[in-house]
Amino acid sequence: MPSSAEHPLPPLTIRVKRLPHGEGLPLPAYATAGAAGMDVVAAEELDLMPGQRHAVATGFAIAIPDGYEVQVRPRSGLALKHGITVPNTPGTIDSDYRGELKVIMINHGDAPFPIRRGDRIAQLVAAPVQRADFAEVEDLDATERGAGGFGSTGV
Protein backbone atom coordinates (compact mmCIF):
# COMPACT_ATOMS: atom_id res chain seq x y z
CA MET A 1 0.00 0.00 0.00
CA PRO A 2 1.42 3.41 -0.86
CA SER A 3 1.61 5.82 2.04
CA SER A 4 -0.59 8.91 1.87
CA ALA A 5 2.47 10.95 0.90
CA GLU A 6 2.77 8.89 -2.29
CA HIS A 7 -0.69 9.41 -3.70
CA PRO A 8 -1.30 7.07 -6.65
CA LEU A 9 -3.19 9.60 -8.78
CA PRO A 10 -1.65 12.74 -10.29
CA PRO A 11 -3.18 15.94 -8.92
CA LEU A 12 -5.89 17.67 -10.92
CA THR A 13 -5.00 21.27 -11.71
CA ILE A 14 -7.88 23.65 -11.03
CA ARG A 15 -7.42 27.25 -12.16
CA VAL A 16 -8.33 29.69 -9.42
CA LYS A 17 -8.98 33.43 -9.61
CA ARG A 18 -8.73 35.43 -6.44
CA LEU A 19 -11.40 38.10 -6.09
CA PRO A 20 -10.66 41.51 -4.55
CA HIS A 21 -12.15 40.57 -1.17
CA GLY A 22 -10.09 37.37 -1.17
CA GLU A 23 -6.75 39.17 -1.16
CA GLY A 24 -4.47 37.96 1.60
CA LEU A 25 -6.39 34.77 2.33
CA PRO A 26 -4.93 31.29 1.90
CA LEU A 27 -6.26 29.31 -1.06
CA PRO A 28 -7.85 25.93 -0.29
CA ALA A 29 -5.20 23.46 0.84
CA TYR A 30 -4.89 19.95 2.22
CA ALA A 31 -4.08 19.98 5.93
CA THR A 32 -2.32 16.59 5.85
CA ALA A 33 -0.75 14.35 3.21
CA GLY A 34 -3.73 11.99 3.21
CA ALA A 35 -6.53 14.52 3.54
CA ALA A 36 -9.38 14.00 1.06
CA GLY A 37 -10.60 17.57 1.30
CA MET A 38 -8.94 20.96 0.98
CA ASP A 39 -9.90 23.29 3.81
CA VAL A 40 -11.53 26.47 2.54
CA VAL A 41 -11.65 29.69 4.53
CA ALA A 42 -14.24 32.43 4.91
CA ALA A 43 -13.73 35.77 3.17
CA GLU A 44 -16.37 37.55 5.22
CA GLU A 45 -17.42 37.96 8.82
CA LEU A 46 -20.76 37.34 10.43
CA ASP A 47 -22.37 35.80 13.44
CA LEU A 48 -24.52 32.90 12.22
CA MET A 49 -27.56 32.83 14.46
CA PRO A 50 -29.25 29.58 15.54
CA GLY A 51 -31.33 28.34 12.61
CA GLN A 52 -29.80 30.88 10.20
CA ARG A 53 -28.43 29.97 6.76
CA HIS A 54 -25.91 32.04 4.86
CA ALA A 55 -23.91 31.62 1.65
CA VAL A 56 -20.45 32.49 2.95
CA ALA A 57 -18.06 34.19 0.53
CA THR A 58 -14.71 32.51 -0.11
CA GLY A 59 -13.10 35.27 -2.17
CA PHE A 60 -12.22 33.15 -5.20
CA ALA A 61 -13.66 31.58 -8.36
CA ILE A 62 -12.44 28.41 -10.06
CA ALA A 63 -12.45 26.70 -13.44
CA ILE A 64 -12.66 22.94 -12.93
CA PRO A 65 -11.45 20.82 -15.87
CA ASP A 66 -14.20 19.15 -17.94
CA GLY A 67 -15.19 15.78 -16.52
CA TYR A 68 -14.72 16.79 -12.89
CA GLU A 69 -16.65 18.51 -10.13
CA VAL A 70 -15.80 19.93 -6.74
CA GLN A 71 -17.89 18.93 -3.74
CA VAL A 72 -18.36 21.25 -0.77
CA ARG A 73 -18.51 19.29 2.45
CA PRO A 74 -18.86 20.23 6.11
CA ARG A 75 -16.08 19.97 8.67
CA SER A 76 -16.89 17.35 11.26
CA GLY A 77 -15.42 19.36 14.15
CA LEU A 78 -17.74 22.31 13.50
CA ALA A 79 -20.69 19.93 13.16
CA LEU A 80 -19.95 18.03 16.36
CA LYS A 81 -18.93 20.92 18.58
CA HIS A 82 -21.20 23.68 17.29
CA GLY A 83 -23.94 22.17 15.07
CA ILE A 84 -22.52 24.10 12.11
CA THR A 85 -22.95 22.28 8.82
CA VAL A 86 -23.56 22.59 5.08
CA PRO A 87 -27.27 21.97 4.39
CA ASN A 88 -26.75 21.10 0.72
CA THR A 89 -23.85 18.76 1.37
CA PRO A 90 -22.20 17.78 -0.79
CA GLY A 91 -22.55 21.13 -2.51
CA THR A 92 -21.90 20.79 -6.22
CA ILE A 93 -19.50 23.11 -8.03
CA ASP A 94 -20.01 22.56 -11.76
CA SER A 95 -17.07 22.65 -14.14
CA ASP A 96 -18.70 25.50 -16.09
CA TYR A 97 -19.36 27.73 -13.05
CA ARG A 98 -17.27 30.88 -13.01
CA GLY A 99 -18.89 32.78 -10.15
CA GLU A 100 -17.55 33.04 -6.63
CA LEU A 101 -17.46 29.73 -4.80
CA LYS A 102 -19.71 30.07 -1.76
CA VAL A 103 -20.22 27.78 1.19
CA ILE A 104 -23.81 27.53 2.35
CA MET A 105 -23.75 27.16 6.11
CA ILE A 106 -26.47 26.57 8.68
CA ASN A 107 -26.35 26.82 12.43
CA HIS A 108 -28.16 23.85 13.98
CA GLY A 109 -26.69 24.74 17.36
CA ASP A 110 -28.26 26.82 20.09
CA ALA A 111 -25.73 29.66 20.20
CA PRO A 112 -24.66 32.30 17.69
CA PHE A 113 -21.59 31.07 15.82
CA PRO A 114 -18.95 33.65 14.88
CA ILE A 115 -17.48 33.27 11.39
CA ARG A 116 -14.34 35.34 10.99
CA ARG A 117 -12.24 36.09 7.90
CA GLY A 118 -9.72 33.28 7.44
CA ASP A 119 -11.65 30.71 9.50
CA ARG A 120 -11.71 27.24 7.95
CA ILE A 121 -15.42 26.71 7.31
CA ALA A 122 -15.65 23.68 5.01
CA GLN A 123 -13.65 21.38 2.76
CA LEU A 124 -13.54 20.87 -0.99
CA VAL A 125 -13.25 17.44 -2.57
CA ALA A 126 -12.42 17.15 -6.28
CA ALA A 127 -14.07 14.18 -7.99
CA PRO A 128 -14.57 12.75 -11.47
CA VAL A 129 -18.10 12.93 -12.86
CA GLN A 130 -19.65 9.97 -14.64
CA ARG A 131 -22.25 11.33 -17.03
CA ALA A 132 -25.16 9.11 -18.08
CA ASP A 133 -27.84 8.85 -20.72
CA PHE A 134 -31.32 7.47 -20.11
CA ALA A 135 -32.43 4.69 -22.48
CA GLU A 136 -36.21 4.46 -22.20
CA VAL A 137 -37.59 0.89 -22.10
CA GLU A 138 -40.98 -0.83 -21.57
CA ASP A 139 -39.77 -3.17 -18.80
CA LEU A 140 -36.84 -3.36 -16.42
CA ASP A 141 -35.06 -6.63 -15.57
CA ALA A 142 -36.35 -8.46 -12.45
CA THR A 143 -34.24 -8.42 -9.26
CA GLU A 144 -34.40 -9.97 -5.80
CA ARG A 145 -35.11 -6.54 -4.28
CA GLY A 146 -37.70 -5.53 -6.80
CA ALA A 147 -39.52 -2.40 -5.63
CA GLY A 148 -38.59 -2.92 -1.98
CA GLY A 149 -36.78 -0.04 -0.39
CA PHE A 150 -36.88 2.47 2.42
CA GLY A 151 -36.26 -0.13 5.14
CA SER A 152 -37.85 -3.12 3.41
CA THR A 153 -35.04 -5.43 4.59
CA GLY A 154 -35.68 -4.60 8.25
CA VAL A 155 -33.58 -2.89 10.85
Ligand X SMILES: O=c1ccn([C@H]2C[C@H](O)[C@@H](COP(=O)(O)OP(=O)(O)OP(=O)(O)O)O2)c(=O)[nH]1
The reply to whether 75 sits in an annotated binding site is: yes
The reply to whether 106 sits in an annotated binding site is: no
The reply to whether 88 sits in an annotated binding site is: yes
- Closest approach, Cβ 51 to ligand X, in A, equals 19
Nearer to ligand X, 18 or 102 (CB): 102
Nearer to ligand X, 52 or 92 (CB): 92
Bridge partner residues of 113 (DSSP) = 48
Residue nearest to ligand X (CB): 91
Nearer to ligand X, 45 or 94 (CB): 94
Residues 6+ apart with CB under 8 A from 131: none
> Helix (H, G, I), strand (E, B), or coil: what is residue 76?
helix
DSSP state of 119: -
Least Cα distance to 72 among 19, 122, 115 occurs for 122
In whole angstroms, what is the distance from residue 39 CA to residue 59 CA? 14
The reply to whether 115 sits in an annotated binding site is: no
| Whether 7 contacts 1, CB under 8 Å | no
- Closest approach, Cβ 7 to ligand X, in A, equals 25
- Interacting residues with ligand X (CB under 6 A): 72, 88, 91-94, 97, 101-102, 104
Q: Which residues are annotated as a binding site for substrate?
A: 75-77, 88, 92-94
